[in-house]
Amino acid sequence: MATVTGIRNRPVVRLRRPQTGTFIVAVLIIVFGAYIGGPVLLIFINSFNLAQVGQPAVWSLDNWRLAFSTPAIAEALFNTLLVFGFYTLVSFPVAVGIAWALSRTKVRWSYGLEFMFWVSFMIPVISVTIGWTYLIDPHVGILNKALTFLPFIDSSVFNIYSVPGIIWVHLMANAISAKVMLMTPAFRNMNVLLEEAARVSGASNLRTMFRVTLPLMVPIMVIVFVLQIVRVFQSFETEQILGTPIGFFVYSTKIFQFVRFFDPPQYGAATALASVTLIVIAIIYPLSRWLTGRKRFTTVSGSFKPGLIDLGRGQPYVTAGIIVLLLFLTVIPIVTLIAGSLMTRVGFFNVTQVWTTAHWADVVGDRFFLQSLRTTVTLSVATAIVSPLLFSVIAYIFVRTRWSGRAVLEGVFWMSAAIPGMLSGLGLLWLFLGFGGFDLLVPLYGTIFALLLVVVLQGKLTSTQLIKGVYLQMGADMEEAARVAGANWLRTYFRIWIPLIMPTLILIGVLNFVIAAGATASIILLASRDTQTLSILALEMMTRSDGKDLEGAGIVSLFIVGMTVIVAVIARRFGLRVGVSHDVRARGEQIRAAAPSSAQNTPTG
């Protein structure tokens, strides 16, 4: 007789009820995925649509044929890669050398100099562009005017409205400083034993750097290189100000031209250009993963030993070179902006009245300036408050929970880093215009709420990763103690975690304030006349068809710099007080405790 005991012993499969955390993560994936992937999907779909907004869709491949056959579009992509190639060719080796010098050699004031590269990065790109325009404009540039007083120079030497001028401004803006910021900490974490072994074998400092240090730094250099490629598609202000007058268009400025300067707007051509860029990004990301995953590059282990290299008599020259570069990156453009804004006409020293405050009175009294100032302050302050709180909760989910879908949510955030600002802005424009009958967001178009949605989420990846790193450094015993004492999650979060991570939250608030204050490419397609920001106003002053307002644009950009510097200084002082004051007191107690014994052991006479 056949037996069925095996069937009876088979375990019964029961469906598990999804946990609350799973629903929360699912909602976050849908929300952020819609914000990040929605615009990209709309761009791809609309690249096949020939109809204008509000008209029935007409599907065709004509936009793609236009993308690959129109010389203007192909030229814009070529110009983008041309600018990127030249300033990367210069900035990458310079930044690598500076990062190596600051972290691996005995450069004086290395941490202070490293902080100055942060300051350079925080100066808005448009401010740097206008500052250098004051200096080397071919007609009114202060430096060009000064050089004509020399007996052997009759005309302008430099011309910022050129491809070399655009490349120079990129180098002075953040092409160098951003790379130094990212690579210096990684270089500093390298084990000095590896370099000592090379020198014991007879290698010089230079040979050791090329044969040992740089090969081990391949992962961070590849990551920085990939991030730089993404940034080149985000570049907008410099090319719009310096390239448009000479007919030199890149990816972002060509999209802006198609949308804003054609009647009717050429959305099809713009989306086709944006779609081509998506293909480039899709190739770059797996290539970077392949490059960083081929070998092991361990530099910190249990036998880690810190140490610095002495460059001997060359050390002062290296320090001096870094200081001179920092003057070009920070002091010169800001001082030039201030001086130019106080001149009757920038670059003219032979007029009856050279210096005046009339431009300041005109700008401050202009209602569009005051309106732009209010919009910028509102956006920046709201972003600085909302972003740290929002993304600290997201980072908490990444680190402190075991909810399903966390990896997918974090992957969505990483994907957002590959979406250039102009590309995202174009996709969001389709959403706010009510494409496909989805008119829920149409009332928000041109309002400050649309801009706020964009700028708050603009720094999501950096914010979550910084806070995630802090969470990983902290144990869970304090949170567990609060739970045992009867505190719920919300009370525990605000009474335990927020005070612990407050210095990092302040840092993120400042960074997002700076990003929001200088945002241009990501919001310019969504802003109206009533909601333009200071950066957009300065851009319009520099590119208006009825003549440039150099002095006014400089004053507007100085307000942006002033806002960011004031907020950064206040936040830094407050952050140091809330973050490390207890450590300072502890060190003071240690010094006072050690003082008597030190005095007893000090030899006299």
Structure confidence by residue, pLDDT tens digits, 390-439: 888 888 888 888 888 887 887 777 766 656 677 677 777 777 776 655 56
Residue 470, pLDDT above cutoff 50: yes
CB 108 within 8 A of CB 307: no
Q: In terms of pLDDT, which residue wins out, 546 or 40?
A: 40
CA dist 166 and 161 (Å) reads 7
Torsions phi, psi for 108 (to 5 deg):
-70, 145
Q: What mean pLDDT comes out for the span 578-583?
A: 42
pLDDT confidence of 182, banded at 50, 70, 90?
Answer: confident
Scan for tokens 């997002």, then name that residue: 512
What does the pLDDT look like over 244-277, one tens digit per residue? 889 899 888 888 887 777 766 676 677 677 666 6
The CA-atom distances, in angstroms, between 284 and each of 223, 227, 357, 421 are 11, 10, 50, 17
Could you confirm whether domain 361-404+446-593 is CATH 3.60.21.10?
no
Residue 317, pLDDT above cutoff 80: yes
Q: What mean pLDDT comes out for the span 330-357?
A: 85
Percent of the chain at pLDDT above 70?
Answer: 70
HEC-encoded secondary structure of 297-344 = CCCCCCCCCCCCECCHHHHHHHHHHHHHHHHHHHHHHHHHHHHHHCEC
Q: In terms of pLDDT, which residue wins out, 158 or 67?
A: 158
Q: In terms of pLDDT, which residue wins out, 466 or 212?
A: 466
Residue 564, pLDDT above cutoff 70: yes
CA dist 183 and 188 (Å) reads 9
Query: Residue type for 506, please?
Result: I
pLDDT value, residue 438: 56
Residue 194, pLDDT above cutoff 70: no
Average per-residue pLDDT for the chain = 75
Give the start-to-end residue ranges of the domains of the chain: 361-404+446-593
Q: In terms of pLDDT, which residue wins out, 163 or 511?
A: 163
CB 486 within 8 A of CB 353: no
Q: What is the DSSP letter of 355?
A: B
CB 127 within 8 A of CB 337: yes
Hey, which residues does 309 pair with through a beta bridge? 105
Sort 42 into a burial class: Cβ within 10 Å, 0-12 / 13-18 / 19+: buried
CB 138 within 8 A of CB 144: yes
pLDDT value, residue 507: 76
pLDDT confidence of 171, banded at 50, 70, 90?
Answer: very high
CB 65 within 8 A of CB 236: no
pLDDT confidence of 227, banded at 50, 70, 90?
Answer: low
Q: What mean pLDDT comes out for the span 217-235?
A: 68
pLDDT confidence of 297, banded at 50, 70, 90?
Answer: very low
pLDDT value, residue 214: 66
Q: In terms of pLDDT, which residue wins out, 305 or 118?
A: 118
Token output for 177 = 């400083």
pLDDT confidence of 71, banded at 50, 70, 90?
Answer: confident
CA dist 119 and 572 (Å) reads 12
Q: In terms of pLDDT, which residue wins out, 349 or 506?
A: 506
Lowest mean pLDDT among 33-42, 103-112, 389-398: 33-42
pLDDT value, residue 164: 93
Residue 242, pLDDT above cutoff 60: yes
CB count within 10 Å of CB 252 equals 30
pLDDT value, residue 217: 65
Residue 328, pLDDT above cutoff 90: yes
pLDDT value, residue 473: 62
Residue 301, pLDDT above cutoff 60: no
Per DSSP, the residues of 215-270 read HHTHHHHHHHHHHHHHHHHH--HHHHHHTGGGT---HHHHHHHHHHSSSS--HHHH
Residue 601, pLDDT above cutoff 60: no
Torsions phi, psi for 59 (to 5 deg):
-85, 135
